Structure 1
Amino acid sequence: MRKFISGLLLFLYPFLSPAQRIDNLVSFRNISGDKYVRLHYDNDFWGKSDYYYTQGYNLEVVQPAFKNNPLSHTLLKLKNSRVKYGIALEHYGFTPTIIASSSILFNDRPYAGVIMLKSFSISVDTIHRTRLSSVISTGMIGPVAFAGPMQKKIHTWTGDAEPMGWQFQIKNDAAINYEVNFEKQLFNIPNIISLNTNSQIRLGTLSDKIQAGATLTLGKFDSPFAATEKETKQNFQLYLYVQPLINFVGYDATMQGGIFNRDSPYTIKSSQINRLVYQNSLGAVVNFRNIYLEFNHVFLSKEFKEGKTHQWGGLRIGVAF
């Protein structure tokens, strides 16, 4: 399996974007047990901005019964591994730098909304300290994702400026993606420090990219590669993490428009897309018994030539059963 993934990454490198922003499948976000619910919310308010990736949320449910989901049979898994199955609903929106403008802002990011339903599996090889997660996502980009009305309503509640340009957003189109993530633990000193490598490949109509990086975890934490997971009543973890990543960008429908519907009023040209994008995440996690809490901050370098760097924050709350 590892040889297959490495070969696939090398083969696709010349052809291959960070459209999907929320990643709940990495090992430092592990929740003990095979039954849990977790809600994640991002907002660039925590990055002191109101442009580009402006907000997103993800509601995930992990439950053994999802093994019988027909889409689960399409998901790659490691041999002789511990496997979890889940589904998630994800929604997010993007805006240009000046939301008060009622005209198209050329050389800026277009408005875009996305809604996706995901089926995923997480498999862990506790002997070789590896973790493979795979995801199939189906949904829509465009007005049907209702990102515009949602942002307008939130700004009404908060008293912020009304976004005036959602009529120029990316048009409705199908969003279908398949994603594989692979992690390998390099070293681990229990309850002190851990270092993992991260790699990802994503293909589909919404986002094509290859990603590579590492994760450093510091604090009191249980290894997600342990042979057995602790019972929740014995669980207490408190740790920090940093995750630098490099994205090799192929296609991003939230900037370039849908694959099938090419009638969007404004998109960014392929020649203006930055093919190499740096991303860094910092965060803190508290996991007490069956409760999971996390806050993180993300930095992203310029995604297109005339663009800006961007920052946002995220909050996660989970409950295990």
Structure 2
Amino acid sequence: MRFFLLIYLLCAGLSAFSQDTLQSGSFLQVDWENDAFQIRQRNITDRYYSNGIRLSHLSNYWRKWPTRHTLLRLRPKDNQVYPFLYSFTAGQEIYTPRNVKIARRPLYPNDRPYAGYLYASWGLTTTDPVGARRLSSSLTLGMIGPVSGAADVQEWLHGVLGQYVPVGWGAQMKNDPMISYAVQYEGRAIPRFSSAFDVIGHVEGTIGTLMNSAGMGGTLRIGLFNDYFQNPTGFYRAGGTAERRFQCYAFVRVGFRTVLDNALLQGGWVNGAKNYYALPAVELQHFYGQTDVGGVIATRQAQLTFTQHLRTAEFRGALPDQWGHISLLVRVGRGSQY
């Protein structure tokens, strides 16, 4: 499968890193999103966002790549040194209509098309511990369509689990190249009056052939945690002040987004017009909201996060979409910088 080949190449690249790279501070992160992880609905369906998986390597090794010239970072004030961390991510996303048991039927205007997305992304995160600011930017290259391998992955997974196999992938979005650039700025919304309570606001924007959108929102954290802005990962750092080796907290994130276009619903800029199942722009909901609720448990070496995502309808006639998200971040380098 194409996706697993990409994962293999990423892992092979990681094994080739020098010991110096690992000692400078390095992390591996695995993210798995699936509607089967939701806890609100008893009957699990594959509608809309069905599955997503990402494998990331966070290390300043990626600073050596020419993609660094495209990424934004905070400019230090008064000769301060801001912690920063580069990353590389390989991922795949799978989207299906409400009913995956019908091979051929007119999806428009009551449903979304089948779509798969395979991508690689380079990112940079910079934090300002004194000013309580964080800037993240990323450049993503990918493909939608059969080349993404989404049909192969979903059909194989359903076969392994003994579930019905989706039969409509022959009508998925056509192959199209994707490029997108995303920026997110975060800052403390109100001064911290308690070490167990924090409110963080954010604004974000994405441009490119995959999606053009802008959004804003905020996050409430309650529990035992390190300062969100102390470093790009939030991990315990030896020698830091008032930092916890063990963290355990809950969070609620509320966001609102306005969307101009979305290739995963409308098709790509090159071949989108050739797909009968693509939704026209007039069917999109150009404004929607999302609520994320979850919890985090972290030690010095690992962090486990579980999140429930709930998003309002993305197009006319659509139902709200809900899925679960499991994320594991592990320290693989012996450095303590982050």
TM superposition score normalised by structure 2: 0.82
Which amino acid in the other structure matches residue 201 of structure 1? G
1:145 corresponds to which residue? 148
1:88 corresponds to which residue? 89
Q: SS at 1:54's partner residue?
A: strand
Distance apart, 1:235 and its partner CA: 1.7
2:3 corresponds to which residue? none
Which aligned pairs between 1:280-299 and structure 2 lie closer than 5 A? Answer: 280-299=291-310
Distance apart, 1:106 and its partner CA: 2.7
Q: SS at 2:274's partner residue?
A: coil
Using the alignment, how far apart are the partners of 1:190 and 1:288 within structure 2?
Answer: 21
Which amino acid in the other structure matches residue 45 of structure 1? A
Using the alignment, how far apart are the partners of 1:196 and 1:231 within structure 2?
Answer: 21
Using the alignment, how far apart are the partners of 1:82 and 1:204 within structure 2?
Answer: 28
1:106 aligns with 2:108: yes
Using the alignment, how far apart are the partners of 1:201 and 1:34 within structure 2?
Answer: 29
Give the 3 Å change call, closer, same or farther, for CA 165–263 of structure 1 in structure 2. same
1:68 corresponds to which residue? 64
Which amino acid in the other structure matches residue 106 of structure 1? Y
Distance apart, 1:131 and its partner CA: 0.4
The list of structure 1 runs, each at least 4 consecutive aligned residues, that deviate by more than 4 angstroms after superposition, is: none
1:214 corresponds to which residue? 218
The alignment of Structure 1 onto Structure 2 pairs a total of residues equal to 289
1:39 aligns with 2:50: no
Q: What CA deviation, in whole Å up to 9, does each residue of 1:82-122 have, x standing for no partner?
A: 21101001110100000000113332110000011000000
Using the alignment, how far apart are the partners of 2:270 and 2:260 within structure 1?
Answer: 17
Using the alignment, how far apart are the partners of 2:51 and 2:133 within structure 1?
Answer: 32
Q: Name the Cα RMSD after superposition.
A: 1.7
Using the alignment, how far apart are the partners of 1:49 and 1:296 within structure 2?
Answer: 18
Q: SS at 1:123's partner residue?
A: strand
Q: What CA deviation, in whole Å up to 9, does each residue of 1:49-94 have, x standing for no partner?
A: 3210000011110111111110011101101122110100111010
1:235 aligns with 2:245: yes
Distance apart, 1:190 and its partner CA: 5.0
1:192 to 196, 200, 214: 196
1:10 corresponds to which residue? none
2:16 corresponds to which residue? none
TM superposition score normalised by structure 1: 0.87
User: What are the ranges of 5 or more consecutive residues in structure 1 without an aligned counterpart?
Assistant: 1-32
Give the conservation status (yes or no) of the 8 Å contact 2:34–2:325. Answer: yes
Distance apart, 1:266 and its partner CA: 1.1
Which aligned pairs between 1:101-140 and structure 2 lie closer than 5 A? Answer: 101-104=102-105, 105-107=107-109, 108-140=111-143
User: What are the ranges of 5 or more consecutive residues in structure 2 without an aligned counterpart?
Assistant: 1-23, 39-43, 77-81, 334-338
Using the alignment, how far apart are the partners of 1:154 and 1:230 within structure 2?
Answer: 37
2:165 to 142, 147, 162: 162
